[in-house]
Amino acid sequence: MASNPPQEELLRALRDQGITSEQVLDVIAKTPREKFVAAGQESVAYNNTALPIDCDQTISQPLIVAMMTEALELTGTERVLEIGTGSGYQAAILSPLCREILSIERHRELSEQAAARFADLGIDNVRLFLGDGSLGLPSEAPYDGILVTAAMPETNETIGAFLRQLREGGRLVAPVGSAKGQTLRVYERTPHGYETRDLCECRFVPLIGEHGQTTDDDANAAPTDTEDAT
């Protein structure tokens, strides 16, 4: 399955920490994380840790990527929205497990790097958007799943906007809390509202923008218009 010893070790760690979906483990085994990390970080690409990428952002910890992916319970037919393209790694993991991924990023440089990686790896079911994803991407809604990969404030306004973009039965997986620490939470949209369950504590870089964290001094740098990056 996995092609090199560090990758095999990573897969063992993911199993030990409760990842049971063979499909998710198989995609992680087949996806070269070393192509998604920053130059010079290839030797630690299979560590089970988040790593720095350009624009002061991070590629998420593999365990968190696996948990978020598993929580969507994908069957292959879904359209999934990702907030925060970053390196593109999470979208690459989703790619074989669903029909289409729409991923929005506020940094053009990161979006362009991710597009180049997808082209290199033959990944052709990810549509990239540039703009403020703190409001979701209402123009393309509804979605079967939404992954927020930046720390989302726990306000009804923010969460409500995402839930409205979900199809009934769809799931939103998001780290909710302050910029300092969050709970990874699954919201499932039901006929009567939604149900939640908590997966673990986690720490993501902040969601910036209109519905993002209010304490980050980087907030003014967010582009305001959404544009199709592909």
Select the span of 27-35, 41-49, 129-137, 163-171 touching ligand SAH (CB under 6 A).
129-137
Judged by beta carbon, residue 178 or residue 190, the one nearer ligand SAH is 178
Judged by beta carbon, residue 21 or residue 90, the one nearer ligand SAH is 90
Q: Residue 144 corresponds to which amino acid?
A: D
* Phi, psi torsion values for 16, nearest 5 degrees: -60, -30
So which residues are the catalytic ones?
60
In angstroms, the CA 103 to CA 126 distance is 7
Q: Residue 155 corresponds to which amino acid?
A: T
Task: Decide: is 208 part of the binding site for ligand SAH (CB under 6 A).
Answer: yes
Between CA 43 and CA 51, with CA 45 as vertex, the angle to 5 degrees is 115
Task: Decide: is 28 part of the binding site for ligand SAH (CB under 6 A).
Answer: no
Binding mask 147-166 for ligand SAH (x = CB under 6 A): --xx----------------
The first and second tokens of residue 60, run together, are 């998420």
Given candidates 31, 69, 134, 165, which one binds ligand SAH under the rule CB under 6 A? 134
Task: Decide: is 72 part of the binding site for ligand SAH (CB under 6 A).
Answer: no
* Count of residues that bind ligand SAH according to CB under 6 A: 25
Given candidates 33, 79, 106, 127, which one binds ligand SAH under the rule CB under 6 A? 106
Task: Decide: is 71 part of the binding site for ligand SAH (CB under 6 A).
Answer: no
Does residue 226 contact residue 132 with C-beta atoms inside 8 Å?
yes
Q: CA separation (Å) from 179 to 36, 40, 46, 221?
A: 24, 28, 26, 17
Task: Decide: is 57 part of the binding site for ligand SAH (CB under 6 A).
Answer: yes
Tell me the closest approach of the beta carbon of residue 85 to ligand SAH, in angstroms. Answer: 6
Task: Decide: is 83 part of the binding site for ligand SAH (CB under 6 A).
Answer: yes
Q: CA separation (Å) from 199 to 17, 132, 177?
A: 12, 26, 14
Q: Per the omega criterion (within 30 degrees of 0), is the bond before 96 cis?
A: no
Judged by beta carbon, residue 52 or residue 169, the one nearer ligand SAH is 52
Tell me the closest approach of the beta carbon of residue 190 to ligand SAH, in angstroms. Answer: 27
Contacts of residue 158, Cβ cutoff 8 Å, sequence gap at least 6: 134, 152, 211, 212
Task: Decide: is 87 part of the binding site for ligand SAH (CB under 6 A).
Answer: yes
Task: Decide: is 207 part of the binding site for ligand SAH (CB under 6 A).
Answer: yes
In angstroms, the CA 228 to CA 129 distance is 5
List interacting residues with ligand SAH (CB under 6 A).
57-60, 83-84, 86-87, 89-90, 104-107, 110, 132-134, 149-150, 205, 207-209, 212
